[in-house]
Amino acid sequence: MDYLRTAGFPLLTLLILSPLAGLGLVGLSAWLKLPERAMKIGAVLWALVPLALACAVWAGFDPSATAQGQAVVQYVEKVPWVSAIQVEYFLGVDGLSLPLVLLTAALAPVALLAAGGVRERAHAHFALIFLLEAAMLGYFVALNFFFFFIFWEFSLVPAFFLVQGWGRDGGPRARAALLFFVYTLAGSLGMLLLFQFFYVATSAAGSPTFDLIKLGRIGQGLEAGMPSLQTMLASYAQQIGLANVLGANPALYGGIAFWAIFLAFGIKLGVWPLHIWLPETYAEAPTAGSMLLAGVMSKMGAYGMLRILLPLVPEAAHTFAPTMAALALAGVLAGAYGALSYVRGDIKRLIAYTSINHMGYVALAIAAVAYSSGDADSRAIATNGAVMQMVAHGLSTAALFLLAGALYDRTGTWQLGGIGGLRRSMPLFAGVFGVALFANLGLPGLAGFVGELMIFRGAWAALPLFTGVATLGLVITALALLRMFGQIFHGAPSGILGGAGDLRLSSREFVAAAPLLALLLALGIFPAPLLDMSNAAALALAQVVRQFLS
């Protein structure tokens, strides 16, 4: 199939396995009773190996490759696994997944640096970070639903134990970990059941598959001689008698499929009102956990919508696009007002609510792509904006959680109400914090501005009312972040740092924050490398809905 480009070397397999090798090295250091400091340094250095492999994938990636109206999936590794049920070990990357692979590989060593201050069960903490990185990388490159779902579910395990085992002292970390696990698992069950129906429906049509690329082509009507997936579902419902109860309208089954997929990914993305777990989990997680949960795991939901939801059920996605947009708008405003309400409260909860706000913009872009009004270029711009926003938000939010943790180490409190006037005693810290904050609120010249600008430009053509109202979220979130900065660094000194010792950024903290800020600045000034990477896939995705309604 010429929409796949087979790999000559299993680079993606090595990419997934390299964090697991890091986990093994951490275990070996514990067995050999090496000094804890040596283990931590070695872990951070080893985390550069997956980053180097991800960069090698990027170096050989052809961003302009297209075939049969699709962006070519590259570095494909495809091996039969369980032939009886069409399970294949199928890996590959395109312009939608590669930016998130690079984001994951870049944030993992920074998260390990942030965990350098962990003293309690440090070996287990570092091992879980490596395990989480492997699961997230596997999720972004898996193209058979069997492995896609395994990586999706398995990422819950290390995240759960990170929150429960190393969450904030005195906080409801066990409850937060359980809430996160149960919400995400419950949402996944509907998607799992749906894909069983996809499999048996395609079997009845003579072509059983769990291949996400093939299912997407069937959903888009690109497989010759095969009806759309929702038509297959309706036919299968008639065969088993379900149509006698629900009716035989294919649109009904397309709608059921849409909501089963949307709920699973919407929970992870934090779409309102499925976001209930998010503020508490982000707040209670340890610093490294908050960085990876907000920086990468929330993007798993948006990626799933782009990879599965739109291609597999485009007709239903078009039908429910206004509903998606309304939920996205609710998330934008709820996140903004939630952040504003914590200006004198918990700093991590404030940052968590800004994440709900920013992921609301990504959901709005996806709704605009699903809605057929507007030209294909606008839909492609919205997709590119969503990818840029995910990367920019991942970098800036990870930096904010990193610096919030460093602030707690100096003050002993997460409460903003007891902090003030720190700029005089911590000028470099204030400067670094300010860059991360301005990147998060979308200041021109930084990466967040590019993503937000492209989302609003692309979404306006399809959903002008929702897009116009969503701009209120920009103002309210900016107000919350600026008031937070003023609360911490300006005003009368609180005296809370009296016994804190050295107030300068430590070398570990600076080395962790510097690459994040450098990337935010570089992508804000010159976003072309990332946009070139995603553009072919964005243009192909822009055609998905139009072909059914033109």
φ, ψ of residue 77 in degrees (nearest 5): -120, 120
Among residues 126, 150, 138, 113, the alpha carbon closest in space to that of 50 is found at: 138
C-alpha to C-alpha distance for 286 and 348, rounded to whole angstroms: 11
Q: For residue 2, what pLDDT is reported? A: 47
What's the alpha-carbon Rg for the chain, to the nearest Å? 23
Sign of CA dihedral 362, 56, 156, 285: negative
Cβ 415 vs Cβ 345: under 8 Å: yes
Helix (H) or strand (E) holding 82: strand 73-82
Average pLDDT over residues 416-441: 83
Q: For residue 501, what pLDDT is reported? A: 45
Sheet containing 87-93, strands listed edge to edge, beginning at the edge strand earlier in sequence:
4-6, 73-82, 87-93
Q: For residue 523, what pLDDT is reported? A: 93
C-alpha to C-alpha distance for 47 and 129, rounded to whole angstroms: 10
Cβ 361 vs Cβ 441: under 8 Å: no
Q: How confident is the model at residue 111 (pLDDT cuts 50, 70, 90)?
A: very high
Q: How confident is the model at residue 205 (pLDDT cuts 50, 70, 90)?
A: low
Chain segment 123-172, per-residue pLDDT in tens: 999 999 999 999 999 999 999 888 888 899 888 899 999 998 888 776 68
C-alpha to C-alpha distance for 63 and 429, rounded to whole angstroms: 38
Average pLDDT over residues 450-479: 90
Chain segment 386-412, per-residue pLDDT in tens: 999 999 999 999 999 999 888 888 787
Three-state secondary-structure class, residue 87? strand
> Over 60: is that where the pLDDT of 1 sits?
no
Residue with tokens 């309304």: 326
Residue with tokens 């609710």: 330
Q: For residue 280, what pLDDT is reported? A: 86
Cβ 35 vs Cβ 92: under 8 Å: no
Chain segment 228-280, per-residue pLDDT in tens: 777 777 777 777 777 677 777 777 877 888 888 888 888 888 888 888 888 88
Burial classification of residue 430, based on how many CB atoms lie within 10 Å of its CB (0-12 exposed, 13-18 middle, 19 or more buried): middle
The whole-model pTM stands at 0.91
Q: Which residues contact 541 (CB under 8 A, 6 or more apart)?
A: 96, 306, 310, 311, 369, 379, 380, 383
User: How much is the mean pLDDT over the chain?
Assistant: 85
Q: Distance of alpha carbon 200 from its chain centroid, rounded?
A: 30
Joined together, the tokens standing for residue 41 give 């340094």
Q: For residue 25, what pLDDT is reported? A: 92
Q: Distance of alpha carbon 370 from its chain centroid, rounded?
A: 19
List C-alpha distances in Å: 491 to 39, 419, 422, 423. 42, 10, 9, 9
How would you classify the pairing of strands 73-82 and 70-71? Answer: unpaired
Chain segment 49-106, per-residue pLDDT in tens: 999 999 999 988 888 766 655 667 888 888 888 877 778 898 999 889 999 999 999 9
Cβ 43 vs Cβ 22: under 8 Å: yes
Chain segment 515-536, per-residue pLDDT in tens: 999 999 999 999 999 998 888 8
